Amino acid sequence: MAKQIVSSSAILFVLYDPSRRAPASEGDFLGIISLGCVMENMWLTANSLGIDVHIVSSLSGKKVAAEIAKMLNVPDRFVIAFSMRLGYSVTPLHYLRVRRDRDNFVHHNGFKK
């Protein structure tokens, strides 16, 4: 974890307040979907500016998140929902990306194995 933090140009933490949720949202499923939308929009915006994004799930674990929250003086009611590293890639993206063939996940008129 320390290497990920030290080697990052910037780390963005998305905080979530579980005490505030959408009306009639049992279990706050809508809040989690909204967080996903926020993350996607930030990712797309960063990429449009030539900035690479790396989602870091290891910074959201309870023990690590508690340490980070303490360092950043995050109020107790907030939870670190997601974290992402932002920066410019040293390695060209075409070496990092592995794409599945579209026929492996797109189906027409029924599911095919």
Q: How confident is the model at residue 33, as a pLDDT?
A: 82
Per-residue pLDDT tens, the chain, 113 aa: give them. Answer: 566 667 778 888 888 888 777 676 666 677 778 888 988 999 999 999 989 888 887 776 788 888 888 988 999 988 888 888 898 877 665 555 567 777 777 877 787 66
Domain boundaries, the chain: 2-104
Domain 2-104: assigned CATH number: 3.40.109.10
Q: How confident is the model at residue 41, as a pLDDT?
A: 94
- Rounded Cα gap, residues 13 and 8, in angstroms: 13
Does the global pTM surpass 0.85? Answer: no
Q: How confident is the model at residue 24, as a pLDDT?
A: 67
Q: How confident is the model at residue 25, as a pLDDT?
A: 67
Q: How confident is the model at residue 88, as a pLDDT?
A: 85
